[in-house]
Every structure is written in C-alpha cells, then in structure tokens.
Structure 1
C-alpha cells in the first residue's frame, strides 16, 4: 500500500550532526530466579551458569543524526530500539561508548514521565517544562496554549494520580511540544490517545519538521513512520542491522523484497 507522505523539506546531507551515537553499549541483568526456593530447584535440576545473566540490550551501535532529519527506530519487541531512545534522551546512561546531543531535547518516552502524582496538572506543567529547560516566565507565557492543546478542562487543577493514561498523554505532549525543542523524541506514546488527538499530535509533529527540527521516533505503526520519516534504523538483538531510506526499512519490517 502506497502511503502519502507529508510534504516536508529535504534534509541537508552535509548539515550539522546533532546526535552522535558512538560504539554504544547498554547492559542489563536477566534474572532467572527471585527466591531461594527457585534457586534450589535451578541447581537440583542441573541448570548451569549465572542465575543473573547479563545481556546487551544495545550492542556496539554507532550512527549520526543530522539537523532536521526524521529518523525511525524500528525493530521487533526487545530489539533495543526503546533503550536506544532512552540513551539518547539521557534517561539511561550507557555502560560503554557515548551519546552526544546538541540542542534542547524534548521526549515523550513514557506516559507521565516527569510528572509528580501528588501535584495537579497545572503544577506539573511548571515542573515538567522546567525539567525540559523552560524558565518560569516562558512557561507562564505559554501556559494558556499548553492548556488549550491538552484539552483536559477542569482536570488541570486535579492531582495527576487521578488521570487516565490518555489524559497523561495529552498533558505530556502539550508540554513537550511547547518547549520549542531542537530534537524531539517519541516512543510509541501516540498509540495511547484517541484518533482525533493522534491526528492533532501528528500535525504538530509535521509543523516541527517544517521548522527544521530533528525527530527520532519509535513506533510499530509503519504507515505513520512512512508519512513522517525519511530514514529508518532497524535494531535486532541490540545490534543495528539496517540504516537507510525509510521506505526500504519499512519493506524489510514487512518482509517485502527491496526490489518490489
């Protein structure tokens, strides 16, 4: 199926590098047991090896992203793409290698990340926007626009622990897009909102792209990826296995031939 792309400006292939991922490794512990009983059964059954094995969720990955690029991180569940996005955002620290980023980063990595459950939506706007680098004066100036975009009405003065996941999404997205980021990171979070709000979010993302902002997105929605991205990076088992035009990346993810 041919997907109509957004009409977005071409990216300068010699433009400024705004994200550099250099030989990146992120290691996690895979716990096989959580109790003495399970450990005893493990040993009695002759299982060998460390009960807490380490594995590389991201393994020796290197790439550059230039200013204005729209990059999709693709792969099956557990491939390392969301971990990669968290490393770029600074939410996680690598075990080896480095991530360098230039410019203000706004990320929608997890629903409600950066929100304090016992504070109201209003208070969390100020808290979250400050975390993303805005001054109190900037937040106050943009608050009405944030409130209008979020569309949560009187719930703005309700503690966010009473919010649904959709309300979290609306407020988090509204804050993030009003920080005027140079780099915008999105991880599957658009799947939480209703269709109307998803379209609204996509239109705002399109506007950011038209302004020359850099976009890095993780999603299984391949049609959406085809619309807004120009480059695709495929992860598999922590390794980068493809880096090229997004249309080719989508074909690979769908199991199609690149010649078709």
Structure 2
C-alpha cells in the first residue's frame, strides 16, 4: 500500500521516524531439571514489543485526522506519544499548541475528591488559569448532567458518570489540539449524540483534531484526513473514504453496517 504525505507548511504536529518499543518481562517455564535446582521458581525473561516502527507524517493546521487499524496496530501508542505521555524510543515529535487528550476517560481524576474539585484540577493541568477554570465549571457540570452529584466524591460515581465528566472536562478547556481515543463510547445513547455534536463543533474550531476509533462511520463523518496503521507502520494515508475502503478490503469484511458502527 502507498503512503501519502501531507504538506509540512504550518504543521501543528510533526512526527519524524517515530519508533516506540515496549520492554516486558514474563516468567519462563523451567525444565524439570531446572525446576528442581531452583526450587520450582521460573526464570524472568525480557521481551521487546515494537509498537511503532519508523512512523512519519505532518498534520497541517485545520486537519481532522482519523487513525484506524486493528487492535494492537499502535493507534493508542501513537496518540499517547503525540500527547507527550510516552517518550519516543527513536525519532521525534513536534507539537505546536495546547493539547487536550481524551485518551482514557477520567484518567488523572482523584476518586477521593469531588467532581467539582477534579474539574478544577483538570483545567489547571490543561494550562488554564483558576479564574478561567471557575468560569467553565458550571458548563462542564451541566454538559455531563451531574448537577446533583458534582460535590460528591468521585468514588461514589458510576463508571458512566465518571466517563461523562472526563469527556466534559476535556472538551471544555478550549484546546488548540484535541486528541480522542474511542471517547464516543462514553455514556448512554443520549450522551453519545451530545458528545458527537460537541466534537463536531470542536473539530471546526481546533487547530488540529485527532480521532482513534473502530467506528469507521465516525471517522468518515468527523475527519477530513485519515491514517491506517498496521503492526506499528503506516499502511496508507488519504481521505477518510479512501482509507476506510482499503482497510475494509484488507480485513475482508467489506463496507458492512457492523464495521461502520461501533465494534
């Protein structure tokens, strides 16, 4: 498959020769003889997993980039690297602007604190002043539909309430660059509809918008550019329609309704 390149003029994000390798340890099953001599203890072995391999692309101002691929393709690793959470093993990443990552809803919240206190912490972490965060707190609360629970400790929240607040905090902090990893799955059908509308609004206002999703319909609707990752490498870049069509051909499922909706 060919890989198309975007112009580097006025790039908001630039990824150059990015590789990320994870090192994990596992218990190696000993032989019978070794098990006796080591009193049955296994041996620790190190395994390297190359999550991303020499990935390069530019994201010009105004781009809404969808990232697709099978589980384990490296999509979430790429998003975390661009958000500054994972350091590159090789290569470099340039990001110009304030990033609001929605990589795992509610990650970074303190469950012992109230929802309101976590809104303040989330806003301050995004680089906003305390005054600016306070001005948005009610909007965040109302969008998440948590008016009755906002001053309760978050350990009392259901998983849905937790996710709704995480989404609402991220999208109300006026990011230059918004990165979303499967956030459309947050909440019930009513909240999903509201979340989709909010993301469409943000896409039109943000300098760059990134969306990782198994929902190809969301990629087609919300993005104007797309990348297909496979085993840590860029297989193709192009319009969302071109990329999703080639991707579905590759996995031999075709443009079925099952693939086009959330999996």
TM-score computed with the length of structure 2 as normaliser: 0.85
Deviation at 1:215? 0.7
Contact 2:20 2:53 in 1 (8 A): yes
Deviation at 1:79? 0.5
For 2:30, the equivalent position in structure 1 comes to: 40
Deviation at 1:43? 9.2
SS at the partner of 1:243?
strand
Q: Alpha-carbon deviations, 1:205-238, whole Å to 9, x = none?
A: 1111222531101000011111011111111111
Unaligned runs of 5+ in 1: 1-11
Q: In 2, Cα distance between the equivalents of 1:91 and 1:14?
A: 24
For 2:167, the equivalent position in structure 1 comes to: 173
For 2:59, the equivalent position in structure 1 comes to: 65
Q: Alpha-carbon deviations, 1:41-99, whole Å to 9, x = none?
A: 49979xxxx93211210111011101110101110000001000000011111111111
Mean Cα deviation higher: 157-166 or 226-235: 157-166
Q: Alpha-carbon deviations, 1:20-53, whole Å to 9, x = none?
A: 11111111124342xxxx54149979xxxx9321
Q: In 2, Cα distance between the equivalents of 1:16 and 1:43?
A: 63
Matched, 1:187 2:185: no
Matched, 1:244 2:234: no
Task: Tell me which of 107, 116, 140 is aligned to 1:146.
Answer: 140
Task: Tell me which of 204, 207, 223 is aligned to 2:201.
Answer: 207
Runs of 4+, deviation exceeding 4 Å:
12-15, 41-45
Deviation at 1:159? 1.3
Matched, 1:135 2:142: no
Q: Alpha-carbon deviations, 1:99-127, whole Å to 9, x = none?
A: 11011110110121121111110100001
Q: 1:212 to 1:42 in 2, by over 3 A?
A: farther
Contact 2:227 2:234 in 1 (8 A): yes
Contact 1:19 1:100 in 2 (8 A): yes
Contact 2:178 2:206 in 1 (8 A): no
Unaligned runs of 5+ in 2: 1-5, 36-43, 256-263
Deviation at 1:162? 2.2
For 2:41, the equivalent position in structure 1 comes to: none
Contact 2:120 2:133 in 1 (8 A): yes
Contact 2:106 2:167 in 1 (8 A): no
Q: In 2, Cα distance between the equivalents of 1:219 and 1:66?
A: 21
Contact 1:111 1:165 in 2 (8 A): no
Q: In 1, Cα distance between the equivalents of 2:18 and 2:193?
A: 34
For 1:77, the equivalent position in structure 2 comes to: 71
SS at the partner of 1:254?
helix
Task: Tell me which of 218, 241, 246 is aligned to 2:212.
Answer: 218
Q: 1:75 to 1:137 in 2, by over 3 A?
A: same
